[in-house]
Amino acid sequence: MQIENYLVLLKQWMAYYRFEELKIHKEAGADHVFKNSEVKPSKFGRVDTYCCIKYFNEITPDKMIAFSTNMFNLASRHRDGLPLGFGAMLQVFPVIITDKISNEVYQAILNYCPKHFAAAEFPSVLDLSTGFLYYYKNTPIWGYAYYDGYRRDSYNYFCPKAWNEFNEKLKMKSL
């Protein structure tokens, strides 16, 4: 899949999931930033979700971690409302798109699991050559209640394979 085609589809999926595109991406080096705010009783209040997208021709583990950290800091600066942990939660999905993931980046994304109070930083790497989305596969003890949801959301929001599965289910229902 070409990056241009992916970005067209991504914008459609973000709209489907009720995300709005923000114009704050240039200050942090993202190509696109999307935001959704919802009240979720299962998360005890308002949840602000930021999806920060960046295409890297070449990516290293250090660049991946720096991008993820910068996007978490960007979202933290821009969110408003109640304090985190007291009726509010922050979810940040830094998404790196690359033509082909290296083994070093693959190993880094499988092991990178930052910890924050009442907030989540859940980076993913999309390999355009295969359409696979990579992210932290384990569940830390402190994230037991939420990590399955982060993995599911990341897959549904950003993975072309999930988009195809969704379209196939729609076709089956219409028959």
Q: What is the pLDDT of residue 149?
A: 87
Neighbours of 141 (CB within 10 A): 5
Provide the whole-model pTM. 0.90
60: three-class secondary structure by DSSP: coil
Q: What is the pLDDT of residue 12?
A: 92
Higher pLDDT, 96 or 41: 96
The mean per-residue pLDDT over the stretch 14-39 comes to 88
Q: What is the pLDDT of residue 175?
A: 60
Helix axes 103-111, 61-78, angle to 10 degrees: 40
The sign one gets for the Cα dihedral 105, 107, 113, 114 is negative
> In the structure, what pLDDT confidence band is assigned to residue 43 with cuts at 50, 70 and 90?
low
How far is C-alpha 42 from the chain's CA centre? 20
In the chain, % of residues over pLDDT 90: 59
The mean per-residue pLDDT over the stretch 118-143 comes to 88
Find the domain containing 128 and state its range: 3-174
Rounded to whole angstroms, how far apart are CA atoms 99 and 153? 22
> In the structure, what pLDDT confidence band is assigned to residue 53 with cuts at 50, 70 and 90?
very high
Q: Tell me which H or E stretch contains 45.
A: strand 45-55
Q: Is the pLDDT of residue 108 over 80?
A: yes
List CB contacts of 142: < 8 A, sequence separation 6 or more: 115
Q: What is the pLDDT of residue 42?
A: 64
Domain count within the chain: 1
Cβ(35)–Cβ(93) below 8 Å: no
Q: What is the pLDDT of residue 143?
A: 67
CA distances from 129 to 9, 60, 72, 103 (A): 16, 17, 27, 14
